[in-house]
Structure 1
Amino acid sequence: MTTRAIMRSRQCGTQSRAGFWTLFLCLLVFFLFFPGAGHSAQITLAWNANTETDLAGYKVYYGTASQNYDWFVDVGRVTAYTVANLTDGVRYYFTVTAYDSSNLESVYSNEVSSSSCTYSISPASATYTASASTGSVTLTTQAGCSWTATSGASWLTITSGSSGLGSGTVRYSVAANTSTSSRSAAITIGGRALAVTQQGTSNTTAYTITASAGTGGTISPSGAVAVTRGASQAFTVTPSTGYRVSYVLVDGTSVGAVTSYAFTNVTANHTIQAYFARTYTIRASAGSGGSISPSGSVGVVRYASQAFTVTPSTGYRVSYVLVDGTSVGAVTSYAFTNVTANHTIQAAFGSCTYSVSATNMTVPASANTGSIPVTTQTGCSWTATSGASWLRITSGSSRSGSGAVTCSIAANTSTTSRTTTLTIAGRIFTVTQRGI
């Protein structure tokens, strides 16, 4: 079965041979499963079979934008199909059509979408001395994505976080190494491997890195971390919910608001300290007919400010804006200042209607002026354009709310009348000028 790219966008609509196609308008499409980490991204779809006797097969369409499908697969008469070789973490949209023996095709079924799970860990490696020790590793993935953690050696024990849904932390212990030889093993989490190396008793510890974290987060590993001469040691800084990294000090000097830091070729004792700042969330949303920017969950540091811009779509106006459930009017911008709590902001929009006082006018051959009133709601923008150079708009070519278009009409020196149009708020206004 061949998959090929197509450069067209199809929308749901009415097809010919309505009696056949009506049977396919409500195809039920749903996801069966996602493979776990370590596999290429793929999604299996299934749908209800059609009972039409002239059914020849089905086509599965998919792409990365809703109702705009870049690829399709002719799957024949099967009612389930696995779409493979998808990109990890990218949201795809799927729909199904049916076709008959004449290759006439139905409208699209209902659309479904989802994205595959991706997994990453931090740090990716850790080195310990021969003494018993503990450590942790952070797994990052999407909400609802399941994972398990397994150890590859008996001396490397998972103490918490052996499985979970969404992002999480796996903690482990390292048993003392009584051998003179170093040893290595891995903890596999969501298909990603944390490489753990433990020195033997002959590898004496030369230096100590002291790691600490303030209120609002953690640093891993923490405490007094022993590092052999010339070795490297990585640290991961993780803010708690409602906090962000404020800054990290290495030997008393800030290295910025980093979430990881690695010492390399260690030849001295060091310190690393992580500090955090309280953050709050402003949830911004917009109804149909416009947008708010930024949108979604916006993190704001304590005492900081955050501005939002409300933009109606063409043909719409701002109806009202709610801040923490209370209207602040039909504003197009709003700013939170000195933020010390979570907030919400919601924008609602209404459609615009336009009324032009007349549809046409006739004027004499002499030079004239005219004014055409336009009625609409406050906040509704509109424009006016002329179709001829002898009919010039002197004011009102672009406005918001009710107003008027004023125009200047040049003298007609011909014996023949002439006609042109004004386009006002999408309405056509005809102007006829008599000849001399």
Structure 2
Amino acid sequence: MRNADKVILIIISFLILSPAMGFAASVVVSWNANTESDLAGYIVYYGTRSGNYTASVDTGNVTRYQFNNVQTGVTYYVAVSAYDTSGNESELSDEASIYVSSSPTQVKPTISLLSPQNGATVSTNPLFSWSGSGMVRYKVLASLDNRTYYTIYTGSGTSCRLSSSNWNGAIRSGARVYWYVQGTASDGKVYKSSVFTFRKR
């Protein structure tokens, strides 16, 4: 390993498995790969005091390691070294630290509209499609004036087609249609996407 002191950039992500203080969590540590041709693997050093690593693990030639049974409410310090096929070990990377919170990060449910794209010109029966996270049910609403909205779909799917069977009245050529999706999360809370518009050809 000719560049034995090559710096390894550590990127840390983590997942809290239990929100209760003192209970176990998991921490996933990842880093960029060393580019030496004789690279054999990596060693991860860690501890609960900066610069004082009380344990280490050889991950082999893998740039990711998951620590299980990590205590919440504690700061962990991590550094990584690389070693070559002759057993030569590089210097440690810069230290990275992470505080494992006792409360998991809450991800807010979201809805993203996919098609028709905002401002598009579409055919007679456009396909509405969207994506959502954390939702159990959707409602698609459309309007010709951005004031009075009609429900054109209700269900758990992520697409529906606009047709005479679900739209109240014909849409004239050149008309602008406003639409959005309303989603209901598993906890009963209702979320709304942004409003898109399209014009009928």
TM-score, structure 1 length as denominator? 0.23
Larger Rg: 1
Q: Higher RCO, 1 or 2 (CA under 8 Å, sep at least 6)?
A: 2
